[in-house]
């Protein structure tokens, strides 16, 4: 189907309408959504509490103090919060394929990826993860000795955005397989959520094979470890190439470009799942 050309302003207005509709749907069941958000927040704070209890037993782990560990952790939560606000549709893509919702998007005069991204916003996960990230950042950004000058602020913003793109690309990898396998929930969990658990700690803690996995295969090291090292300058950075500190946005762009090519190939092979519920 030949798509109509929309201006950037028209696409922006349409995205805002999508967002308003998603917000209305979310607020339709305020009580349930409140407790969903609270559940996400409490679930993630439990992991913080566990780390806190562990770290209270020791002064530091390989030279990392508690506040430095939490500063590193804040990168994960804040970047995931932005990702989930902007790209919930990528996270839930396999469900769109399974239910047949994707078929509706394919017959509309808009690009598929634009519709997938615009169609959904998970406000509960955004607020839940974002609240944890903000708490961690506000409680550590001064105590870790960072000079928040213009250069460091710009780096921080670029590192967060790069982390968002990296996480988007990781989710898109499993989404691409939905074109052939329909359901890819377990693959998504393997690629993203299981790997993400390692990223809550400095990768220097792990054996070499895990370090390589977090740098080259599932590059969460560029989401949290290297950005935090840029500010903290811990001694364990010496075992890695210093240039890694500046590669987060570059890794994100390269990953997204490669995954988008894979996405286009998968789309050519797609056939309806036959489960349309709409």
As for how many domains the chain has, the answer is 1
What does the block give as tokens for 210? 């895990």
- Is residue 191 included in any domain, yes or no? yes
Supply the pLDDT for residue 18.
Answer: 84
What is the Cα–Cα distance from 129 to 84, expressed in whole angstroms? 9
CB atoms within 10 A of CB 104: 14
- Is residue 1 included in any domain, yes or no? no
CB contact set of 243 (below 8 Å; sequence gap of 6+): none
111 pLDDT more than 60: yes
56-106 pLDDT, tens digit per residue, is: 877 667 788 899 999 999 999 999 999 999 999 999 998 888 888 888 888
213-259 pLDDT, tens digit per residue, is: 999 999 999 999 999 999 999 999 999 999 999 999 999 999 999 99
Instruction: Say what angle helices 248-268 and 112-119 make with each other, to 10 degrees.
Output: 110
pTM over 0.75: yes
Supply the pLDDT for residue 36.
Answer: 93
- Is residue 15 included in any domain, yes or no? no
124-179 pLDDT, tens digit per residue, is: 999 999 999 999 999 999 999 999 999 999 999 999 999 999 999 999 998 999 88
Residue 120 and residue 89 in contact, taking contact as beta carbons nearer than 8 Å: yes
Residue 118 and residue 15 in contact, taking contact as beta carbons nearer than 8 Å: yes
Residue 163 and residue 252 in contact, taking contact as beta carbons nearer than 8 Å: yes
Percent of the chain with pLDDT over 70: 96
Which residues are bridge partners to 61 per DSSP? 64
**Predicted confidence band at 1 (pLDDT cuts at 50, 70, 90)?**
very low
- Is residue 278 included in any domain, yes or no? no
Which residues are bridge partners to 143 per DSSP? none
274 pLDDT more than 60: no
What does the block give as tokens for 49? 């509490």
What phi, psi does 184 have (nearest 5°)? -135, 30
- Is residue 65 included in any domain, yes or no? yes
Domain of 29?
22-268
54 pLDDT more than 70: yes
Supply the pLDDT for residue 44.
Answer: 93
- Is residue 203 included in any domain, yes or no? yes
- Is residue 162 included in any domain, yes or no? yes
**Predicted confidence band at 278 (pLDDT cuts at 50, 70, 90)?**
very low
Mean pLDDT across 52-58? 81
Which residues are bridge partners to 64 per DSSP? 61
Supply the pLDDT for residue 73.
Answer: 95
What does the block give as tokens for 104? 């509706």
273 pLDDT more than 70: no
**Exposed, middle or buried: residue 61 (CB in 10 Å: 0-12, 13-18, 19+)?**
middle
**Predicted confidence band at 22 (pLDDT cuts at 50, 70, 90)?**
confident
Q: Which residue has the tokens 């560990």?
A: 69
More confident residue, 261 or 8: 261
277 pLDDT more than 70: no
Q: Which residue has the tokens 């390692």?
A: 198
């Amino acid at each position: 189907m030949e798509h109509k050309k929309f201006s950037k302003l028209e696409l922006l207005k349409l995205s805002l309408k999508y967002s308003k509709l998603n917000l209305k749907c979310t607020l339709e069941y305020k009580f349930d959504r409140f407790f969903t958000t609270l559940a996400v927040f409490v679930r993630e704070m439990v992991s913080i509490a566990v780390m806190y209890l562990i770290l209270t037993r020791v002064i530091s782990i390989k030279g990392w103090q508690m506040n430095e560990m939490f500063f590193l952790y804040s990168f994960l939560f804040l970047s995931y919060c932005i990702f989930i606000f902007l790209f919930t549709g990528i996270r839930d893509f396999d469900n769109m394929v399974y239910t047949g919702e994707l078929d509706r998007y394919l017959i509309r005069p808009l690009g598929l990826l634009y519709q997938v991204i615009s169609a959904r916003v998970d406000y509960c996960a955004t607020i839940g993860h974002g609240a944890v990230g903000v708490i961690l950042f506000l409680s550590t950004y001064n105590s870790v000795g960072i000079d928040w000058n213009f250069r460091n602020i710009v780096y921080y913003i670029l590192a967060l955005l790069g982390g968002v793109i990296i996480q988007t690309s990781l989710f898109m990898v499993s989404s691409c397989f939905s074109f052939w396998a329909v359901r890819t929930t377990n693959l998504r969990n393997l690629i993203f959520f299981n790997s993400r658990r390692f990223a809550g700690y400095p990768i220097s803690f792990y054996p070499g094979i895990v370090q390589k996995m977090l740098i080259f295969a599932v590059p969460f090291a560029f989401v949290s470890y290297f950005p935090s090292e840029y500010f903290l300058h811990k001694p364990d950075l010496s075992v890695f190439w210093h240039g890694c500190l500046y590669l987060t946005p570059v890794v994100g762009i390269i990953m997204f470009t490669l995954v988008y090519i894979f996405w286009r190939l998968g789309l050519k092979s797609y056939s309806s799942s036959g489960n349309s519920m709409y």
